[in-house]
Amino acid sequence: PSGEANPRGKAALMKALEIDDSLAEAHASLASIMFWYEWDWAGAERGFKRAIELNPNYARAHHWYADILMTLGRFDEALREIHEARQLAPLSPIVAMTAAELFHFSRQYDRAIEEYGKALQVDPDFALTHLWLGSAYLEKGMADAAITEIKRSIALSGNDSFYVAALGRAYAVTGRKDEARQVLRDLEGRSKRTFVSPVGVALIHAALSQKDEAFEWLEKAFEERTEWMVYLKIDPPFDPLRPEPRFKDLVRRVG
């Protein structure tokens, strides 16, 4: 869980910066914790900028900076940063995938699908790219293609719970509600033995129009400071919940 992992990471990074404050990698990694866990948006942006200042050729700093800009809806700035990252790391599958995500989260699904295809040329077996390609197909109403890609991502990820949750949501969105409920039961059982992202469970409930249950799991995600909460503002699966005052309050509390 984020509440256990990130404080340990932050302590190590602070020690690293005590030894050498000029480490771009440490500044970028510390900024990533400020972003994904602490939700300190201004502090994270300063940290990514500092990392880039120290090492303009550090692709990961540009990549992560693009991520935070994307979550804030600053897509044009994010596009410039991910372009820098791609120039520096043309064979990075996650950088190529993030370039496609920018179009996905700005609702340009056809362009996103095209860019996910390019990302799969970099690494045909990168699970995250298959997951987001499937999600883009789902937003386009291409049910069979969506489920095929998401199942592929599950196999490549070793049955990771977040990927399984995406399949549950796909089943719910495409009317296969019994299968969606079975995925929910499986994940809730799994959560008693190991970490399961509450956001993934929440999104299945949202797709099943079970809003109260969705918000219960989102509150759990808020309490645990689950990473995916930073995408509340832009991620399409949250759209069914956006009109709700509870959702607006959640976005406000995440910052």
pLDDT the model gives residue 117: 97
Tell me how far apart the alpha carbons of residues 41 and 31 are, in angstroms, rounded to a whole number: 9
Backbone angles phi, psi at 11, to 5 degrees: -60, -40
Comparing CA positions, the residue from 156, 106, 168 lying closest to residue 130 is: 156
Please return the burial class of 76, using the count of CB atoms within 10 Å of its CB with bins 0-12, 13-18 and 19+.
exposed
Sequence-distant (6+) residues with CB within 8 A of 210 are none
Comparing CA positions, the residue from 136, 149, 134 lying closest to residue 236 is: 136
> Structure pTM?
0.92
Q: Which amino acid is at 90?
A: P
pLDDT the model gives residue 227: 86
Dihedral sign for Cα 39, 37, 81, 43, please.
positive
pLDDT the model gives residue 53: 98
Tens of pLDDT, residue by residue, the chain (255 residues): 778 889 999 999 999 999 999 999 999 999 999 999 999 999 999 999 999 999 999 999 999 999 999 999 999 999 999 999 999 999 999 999 999 999 999 999 999 999 999 999 999 999 999 999 999 999 999 999 999 999 999 999 999 999 999 999 999 999 999 999 999 999 999 988 888 999 999 999 999 999 999 999 999 999 989 888 999 999 999 999 999 999 999 999 999
Q: How many CB atoms lie within 10 A of CB 193?
A: 7
pLDDT the model gives residue 164: 97
**Do residues 209 and 177 make contact, with C-beta atoms less than 8 angstroms apart?**
no
Q: Which amino acid is at 105?
A: F
**Do residues 55 and 28 make contact, with C-beta atoms less than 8 angstroms apart?**
no
Comparing CA positions, the residue from 76, 6, 84 lying closest to residue 48 is: 84
Dihedral sign for Cα 221, 227, 233, 237, please.
negative
